[in-house]
Chain A
Amino acid sequence: MKQIIEVSKQTQELQVPIITTPKRSVVLKALKKDWQLYSLLVLPIIYLVIFKYIPMIGNIIAFRRFMPGGNIFGEEWVGFRYIQMFIGDATFWHVFKNTLIMSSLTLLVCFPAPIIIALLLNEVQSKKFKKFVQTASYLPHFLSIVIISGMILQLTASNGALNSLIEFFGGKPILFMQDANWFRPIYVGSEAWQTMGWGAILYLAALTNIDESLYEAAKMDGANRWKQTIHITIPGILPTIITLLILNIGSIMAVGFEKVLLLYNPLNYETSDVISTYLYRVGLQSSNFSYATAIGLFESIIGLILVYSTNFLSKKYTDNGLW
């Protein structure tokens, strides 16, 4: 979902698909003139249909009985059986709650972090030092989530660096990954570690667009750097902040599935298990395909509603939106 942020500007020109079917002769004419151009679309459209739209329609098995090896759209209608199943499933509501807590905490910590980094970097005069900090802080963005998880596991191990630090200060070692209370701090902390540097890029770009003359004028009026930051810098990047905030709220249901899957274990399921990992276990480990699809569909629909409504609010109040 994060990727959407960056293309937000581009998609603005696009309206929600209101297709006015052109007259047949017009289409034929266009095809005749531009058939070479259209021919380049054939493979990408086939790709979209097979690998994006068929799975989308495949969600229909949330309402149909599915037999492994049978029809991918299921065998027969069963109505809302699987929907009722998860509504009555205590584990589902437990992982639903976990998802909301984890994503809210992530938003709370990981959203402001890049803004602060960008503001601090903005006060650095030495170009070389700025570049050095940026280069170093982008690094985690380029690593496989498997490596990131490996590092987290190593740092939090019983003989890892974190415990060495605790013991150095006279504390008792903690078995981080075996204690459900520690999963959220570890997840959110490592998320901030991984995203803060890269996330600052868009804010830094917005900062360079602020009119220099505003600062000159403020200096004339005797405003110190702190006042300049409050009255010029922050208002200058506010549209970026609001757009990104709304987008982040729109994707609040999306918790880093792969990371949780790599890090969690039965000892911390109580706090670590989220909707996506639960549906993974239900679907692919216990082969309850229809039930897992029903859960997944519920999650996607909430996500879609959130994106649409936050975008609506964003357009209403900030003139900024995805489309």
Chain B
Amino acid sequence: MKETKSYKVFKVVNVIILLLVVYITLFPFLNVVAQSFSGRAQIEAGQVTLIPKGFNVLTYKTILHDKTFWTSYRNTIVYTVVATFISIVMTTMFAYVLSKKRLIGRKFFTSLAIFTMFFNGGLIPNYILIKTLGMTNTIWAMVIPGAISIFNMLIMKSFFEGMPEELEEAASIDGSTTYGTLVRIILPLSKPILATMVLFYAVGNWNSWFGAFLYLDKSNMFPVTLYLRNLLAGATSGQSAGATAADDLTQIGANIKAVTMVLTVLPILMVYPFVQKYFVSGIMLGSVKQ
């Protein structure tokens, strides 16, 4: 059947609507980038939308020479790497055991985990716990409390459940221990799910700020998200290391937030096009399986 005329019109309108969606989605990003390269006068006059006006990189230079910024950037990297490593080890162990259907107590342990998705301690009891454990102002407050995401664990569990049992039976006949089978046979076959998990945890850790806000007092321990949050909240002025002239200071004040946002988001933007499909496949695995 031929397409009706109205359907042809619809298709054109549809493309326009979707382009509009893309435009609206990307506008705030482009606006921040444009502001980060613009001059103070043009920003204050509200002239900057998508194209930088009064081109200027003074703020970039200043921030990139700012030690506080780099310290918080390094902190973010350290927290992300350590936390992701811990999470992967813990989640893999948990998911692997729970994927064994013959295991006695499997249902009990799984229910124990799932219940925490529906009911949790809440802000205050968690805060008291971390304080009592003496984890405040240590890296442990950043990397331990979120070690296992039950959601991620369930995705991984369903991946393991999809693996043929014969693999492991063969290995155990050959005298392989459970640990050996897991490390030498299962994990090498689980690279796609491990990649997805690493990304889920890494992006989550890179983006988090509230734990640091609650549990860290020393500014030399702050991750870059908290540095940015304090800047946005006006709690810090953003140490301007190089700038001395008053003119320079007002310029920096005008777009320091935009510059810091760009620099914080840059690593995510750079890897995003390449890793996006792993996220989608992870979500699919969580919903479509079984």
- Chain A positions within 8 Å of B, measured between CB atoms, are 3-17, 19, 22, 26-27, 30, 34, 36-38, 40-41, 43-45, 47-48, 50-56, 58-59, 61, 66, 72, 117, 120-121, 123-125, 129, 132-133, 135-140, 142-147, 149-155, 158-161, 163-164, 167, 193, 196-197, 201-202, 205, 219, 222, 224-226, 258, 261-262, 276, 279-280, 283-284, 289, 292-293, 296-297, 299-300, 303-304, 307, 323
Contacts and interface: CB of A to CB of B under 8 A. Distances in A.
A303 B115 CA distance: 13
Nearest to A12: B290
A116 to B, nearest CB: 9
B142 interface: no
A37 B284 contact: no
Given A14-B114, A41-B97, A137-B21, A6 B290 contact: no
B123 to A, nearest CB: 6
Interface in B10-43: 10-11, 14-15, 17-19, 21-22, 24-29, 31-32, 35, 43
What are the 3 tightest A-B residue pairs by CB atom distance, in nearest-first order? A55-B121, A58-B125, A144-B207
B164 interface: no
B183 to A, nearest CB: 11
B35 A154 contact: yes
B145 interface: yes
B179 A36 contact: yes
A280 B123 contact: yes
Nearest to B265: A147
A225 B7 contact: yes
A54 B283 contact: no
B47 interface: yes
B90 A145 contact: no
Given A72-B128, A150-B261, A193 B273 contact: no
Contacts of A167: 46
Q: Does more than half of chain B's interface fall in helix, strand or loop, or is it mixed?
A: helix
A10 B177 CA distance: 29
Interface in B127-144: 127-129, 132, 144
Contacts of A8: 287
A134 to B, nearest CB: 8
Given A47-B90, A54-B121, 18 more contacts: A6-B283, A36-B177, A48-B113, A133-B21, A137-B22, A138-B276, A139-B25, A144-B209, A144-B264, A146-B228, A151-B28, A154-B32, A154-B35, A160-B46, A201-B280, A201-B283, A289-B128, A296-B122
B268 A161 contact: no
B145 A205 contact: no
Chain B interface: which size bin? Answer: 35 or more
Contact of A224 (B4, B46, B123): B4
B71 interface: no
Interface in B98-120: 100, 103-105, 107-120
B104 A56 contact: no
Kindly name the residue among A44, A159, A289, A303 whose own CB sees the greatest number of chain B CB atoms within 10 A: A44
B148 interface: yes
B225 A164 contact: no
A161 B27 contact: yes
A253 B83 CA distance: 29
B148 A262 contact: no
Given A9-B288, A197-B25, A205-B284, A41 B151 contact: no
B189 interface: no
Contacts of A307: 118
Kindly name the residue among B10, B203, B283, B289 whose own CB sees the greatest number of chain A CB atoms within 10 A: B283
A284 B256 CA distance: 30
Contacts, number: 299
B74 interface: no
Contacts of B10: 123, 225
A312 B24 CA distance: 39
B117 A4 contact: yes
Given A37-B103, A142-B272, A262-B229, A54 B209 contact: no
B263 to A, nearest CB: 11
B123 A296 contact: yes
A9 B7 contact: no
B75 interface: no
15 contacts: A5-B287, A7-B154, A30-B104, A48-B148, A51-B129, A52-B116, A58-B128, A72-B129, A124-B15, A124-B18, A139-B25, A142-B276, A146-B229, A153-B257, A197-B25
Contact of B273 (A30, A37, A120, A135): A135
Contacts of B44: 159
Given A47-B148, A201-B283, A202-B287, A11 B154 contact: yes
A117 B18 CA distance: 8
Kindly name the residue among B122, B203, B286 whose own CB sees the greatest number of chain A CB atoms within 10 A: B122
A11 B114 contact: yes
Contacts of A139: 25-26, 29, 272
Given A55-B120, A163-B46, A164-B49, A7 B151 contact: yes
Contacts of B289: 9-10
A12 to B, nearest CB: 8
B122 A146 contact: no
Contacts of B103: 30, 34, 37
B56 interface: no
A160 B4 CA distance: 44
Contacts of B93: 40-41, 43-44
B232 interface: yes
B147 A51 contact: yes
A172 to B, nearest CB: 13
